Amino acid sequence: MSGIVEIAERAGVSPATVSRALRGLHHVNERTRSKIVTAAMELNYPLRPDLLPASAKKKTNRIGVISPYLSRWFFTQAINGVEQSLREAGLDLLLYNFSQVDARQRIFQQRQLRGKVDALIVISLPPTDEEFDSLMSLGIPITTIGFTHEGCSSICIDDVEGGRIATQHLIDLGHREIALLSGPRETAMKFDVSDNRTKGYTEVINSVGVEYNPDLDIRGDFNIYTAELAMQSFLRRKKLPTAIFCHSDEMAFGAIKAIRERGMRIPEDISVIGFDDHELATYVGLTTVAQPPQFEGQMAAAAAIAEVSNPSAERKNINIPVNLVVRSTTAAL
């Protein structure tokens, strides 16, 4: 992203004048300010919404949603929540999916987004710094779901606390050998959900004198099929844990299938706890840590609508609480 010096060179003014103009200070004449704003837009520099010319701020009555996945449960629920709130407000949703690299590159190009939406909601996946600079340069409100970013409103849960809650439930039942069925780490998508839930898990087991054992960390991919395969491989070990904390309910469903096909009983032989409270969790009796992604989507839409209506409105970082739902897949030793 270009800086103040480059803008000053293009506009033919001093960097100090650029700094004053972009901060909205009044002792810059409007002709000079207009030159600076035009230069900043040409260089994709992030501008405050109130500095944009009227032509750039023409309302589209659309809110854009950027999501890495469309079919996975959390993302589907969050998008449903956004769509419901926008529909009630008489606004349209423009959906961008960037699970593929080429799609991701197209989405973050200025010509792909500029002028098409009045605000953006980014779900769960932090863009790179360069991508976020590109988004911020649009000069429209941005709301994030599942992570925070400077200059944006955000709707989040505390994944570390969720990991603590799940693990503490198993500890309270007497379990000390607790496996993890976690998501991928260090991927191009840069998810930090599993890292945070593992952090909560580690804090709790350490508090009762148990050290983190990487041999009990099973890697899945937040879906049923890969979790089932990972669990099938893990169950071939001679010594198995007494409980398993799955980082999503969908992974828990795959784990349960593998465990039962192995001839083991749940919870008599092994306790299983998930994370999400998927609508199918109640049908399989899954104990889980519940979060409300549809409500998170609704809250994100409300924040976006509020900022579109009033660009000077205070940005909010809202933390949605999670809670334990005890069913039949966990039991005391």
Give CA–CA dist 64/95, Å, rounded. Answer: 6
pLDDT of 100 reads 60
The per-residue DSSP string of 92-120 comes to: EEEEEE-SSHHHHHHHTSHHHHTTT-SEE
Domain of 216, CATH number, reads 3.40.50.2300
Number of domains in the chain: 3
Q: Please report the pLDDT score of residue 306 as a whole number.
A: 93
Euclidean distance between CA atoms 50 and 295, whole angstroms = 30
> Can you say how many angstroms the Cα of residue 140 is from the centroid of all Cα atoms in its chain?
19
> In terms of domains, do 219 and 169 share one?
yes
- Per residue of the chain (333 residues), give pLDDT as tens: 468 888 989 999 998 898 888 877 777 888 888 888 888 877 878 777 667 665 555 688 999 999 988 889 999 999 999 999 999 999 999 998 876 656 666 666 555 677 889 999 999 876 777 777 778 878 889 999 999 988 899 999 999 999 999 999 999 999 999 999 998 765 555 678 999 999 999 999 999 999 999 999 999 889 999 999 999 999 999 999 999 999 999 999 999 999 999 999 999 999 999 999 999 999 999 999 999 999 999 999 999 999 998 887 888 899 999 999 999 999 999
pLDDT, position 53: 65
Question: Is residue 195 situated within a structural domain?
Answer: yes
Residue 333 lies in a domain: no
Answer yes or no: is 224 within a domain: yes
3-state secondary structure of 297: helix
pTM: 0.81
Using an 8 Å Cβ cutoff, are 196 and 305 in contact? no
Asked whether residue 287 falls in the same domain as residue 298, the answer is no
Q: Which residues contact 283 (CB under 8 A, 6 or more apart)?
A: none
Do 173 and 248 belong to one domain?
yes
Written as six digits, the tokens of 206 are: 């350490």
Q: Are 148 and 102 members of one domain?
A: yes
| φ and ψ of 119, to 5 deg | -160, 165
Rg (CA), the chain: 24
Residue 229 belongs to domain spanning: 159-292
Q: Are residues 133 and 177 in the same domain?
A: no
Asked if residue 29 belongs to a domain, the reply is yes
The 10 Å Cβ neighbour count of residue 294 is: 18
Confirm whether 329 is domain-assigned.
Answer: no
Residues 134, 44 contacting (CB under 8 angstroms):
yes
Same domain, 107 and 18: no
- Shared domain for 198 and 237, answered yes or no, is yes
